[in-house]
Structure 1
Amino acid sequence: MVPADSLPAIRDRYLGPSLLSPFADDMARRLSRLSVGPLLETAADTGLLTQAIASSVSAGLTIIATDPSTSMVDYASDKPGTARVIWQTAEPCALPFEAGTFGIVACQFGVMALTDRVQGFREARRVMKQGARFVFNVPATFRHNPVADCVQRAMGTLFPSDTPRYLSHVLHGYADNEVVDDELTVAGFTDAIYTTVDLPYAAAAARDAAVGYCLGTPLRAEIDARAGGDTDPVVASVTAALRRRFGAGPIASTMRAHVVSAAG
């Protein structure tokens, strides 16, 4: 049975502990080493990175968290531990801030979904102070993310003539550092540092991973379009595929992302 929770709640419950929070904690630790603010977060989504930032960076650092979705901002701003955060609805490609405002711009797993990444990078650079850093992360390829790979393979089996593309072309479709570097350069950045981060992936059960990916990401819209809105059989098939690959108990695997810190 499909959970009755909203997409953000499903994402937090089923993808948060296994995928999103570990990388958010890693990024927050990196951001805590930077001392020049204010800090702007773009595409804050459900606020998992925001929570990690709020508990990690200096208490004197102003934090502004933004997302293009008002409903997402409403959801994230209700989370505990974010009382110090200023929330605002804003498009990453058209930020409503003055040039040279921020010492840090951060984004977790958001840049690969931008309709115009170069414009999003230009906007990040525009609102940065001299010497500021733009820090973001992107998931690596399927080769280094076995659980996502298994889910995508299941999509190919279920929908061979029209396989959903979100995981392959969006979430894991921006993992080439040379491509990232080229687009940062076009946007005016002159210095970028690339760090590969490998972390353990742990899910309580195969179904949790299946629900998280199938119902807690934009993959759900693709599934709905192909399955007529009946997602239960799809989740069941993905769960079975994950159990075949990782076993019937909790999933213990690996995952990788790239962290980019750019200036210019």
Structure 2
Amino acid sequence: MSATDAVFAGRVAEGYDRLMVPMLFEAYAAEVPPRLPRLAEGHVLETAAGTGIVTAAMAAALPAAVAITATDLNPPMLDRAAPRLPSGRVTLRQADAQRLPFEDGAFDALVCQFGVMFFPDKPAALAEARRVLRPGGRLLFSVWSGLDRNPIPAIVQAAVAAQFPDDPPLFMARTPHGHGDIPGMTAALEAAGFTDFGAERVELPCRSPSARLAATAICQGTPLRAEIEARRVPGLDAVTEIAAQALARKLAGGAMNTPVSAPMEAIFFSAIRPG
């Protein structure tokens, strides 16, 4: 991982919430509550909660007696989450998923949507998840499948990389879409002490109002932005426009401001902390 891969702050946090959430994350957030245990009461922890899209889905679906604590490494993401969450329903807290500030066995379930890929020490994060779950508690998390199964980020990644052939920015390939290895992730869960593993591929439509907005979302609403800006020439806006043109050619007959759509795929992993 690059040092900037897990940094979601400033204009990245704003672009992520405004553009990436509706294009990629809202649809998958709706897939989380049906996969949780049927709790009448208890406590659910969310790590890498981002701007709260999954948190809001859980708050709407889970009984009022189920407490929800949502954490993220980046306070600017939680600042954007707060207004979309019902008052008093959720506790927001800054926390590193690799060093959680909670007691052993404090939670009945732990949820992490598209966050595991960003943890520099994934074994530590999985070990922490096991520690804070009660015996019988469930871990549920999702990761993106590879770029070969996600055409919109694949087109953007290729277009951006082509502008810097000697030193291509590879954030999308390296981090969001670099961890779709089901056997490898299952082995990591087993090594962390989990049992009853499950892995489910879930394909949904990825839609954006235009090629330009889709390219802006990925180039400017993710840490790819820092990689592009670090290379200076031709500049963030110019590279974003090149990526938008590539999306328009491949998905919209060359039209920059008409809707684009393509499949996207993620993998939901589940596991149980044994009693």
Q: CA deviation at 1:164?
A: 1.1
Q: CA deviation at 1:229?
A: 8.9
Q: CA deviation at 1:179?
A: 1.0
Per-residue Cα deviation, 1:223-261 (whole angstroms, up to 9, x for no partner): 111126931101110000000110122112110000011
Residue 202 of structure 1 is matched in structure 2 by 207
Residue 217 of structure 1 is matched in structure 2 by 222
Alpha-carbon distance in structure 1 between the residues aligned to 2:272 and 2:168: 38
Q: Percent identity?
A: 38
User: Measured at CA, do residues 101 and 7 of structure 1 come closer, stay the same or move farther in structure 2, by a change above 3 Å?
Assistant: same
Per-residue Cα deviation, 1:112-157 (whole angstroms, up to 9, x for no partner): 1100001000000000011110000000111110101101111221
Aligned ranges 1:23-62 → 2 under 5 Å: 23-31=28-36, 33-35=38-40, 37-62=42-67
User: Measured at CA, do residues 30 and 75 of structure 1 come closer, stay the same or move farther in structure 2, by a change above 3 Å?
Assistant: same
Residue aligned with 2:202, SS: strand
Q: Is the 8 A contact 1:31 1:57 kept in 2?
A: no
Q: Which runs of 5+ in 1 are unaligned?
A: none
- Equivalent position to 1:139, from 126, 139, 144: 144
Q: Is the 8 A contact 2:203 2:266 kept in 1?
A: yes
Q: Which runs of 5+ in 2 are unaligned?
A: 1-9
Query: Which stretch shifts more, 25-34 or 190-199?
Result: 25-34
Q: CA deviation at 1:158?
A: 1.1
Structure 2 residue 264 is matched with structure 1 residue 259? no
Aligned ranges 1:65-144 → 2 under 5 Å: 65-81=70-86, 83-144=88-149
User: Measured at CA, do residues 166 and 33 of structure 1 come closer, stay the same or move farther in structure 2, by a change above 3 Å?
Assistant: farther
Letter in 1 for 2:183: E
User: Measured at CA, do residues 185 and 80 of structure 1 come closer, stay the same or move farther in structure 2, by a change above 3 Å?
Assistant: closer
Q: CA deviation at 1:35?
A: 4.8
Letter in 2 for 1:75: R
Per-residue Cα deviation, 1:91-115 (whole angstroms, up to 9, x for no partner): 1000000001100000010001100
Query: Which stretch shifts more, 229-238 or 54-63?
Result: 229-238
Alpha-carbon distance in structure 1 between the residues aligned to 2:136 and 2:48: 22
Residue 6 of structure 2 is matched in structure 1 by none
User: TM-score when scaled to structure 2?
Assistant: 0.90
Aligned length: 260
Q: Is the 8 A contact 2:55 2:70 kept in 1?
A: yes
Residue 175 of structure 2 is matched in structure 1 by 170
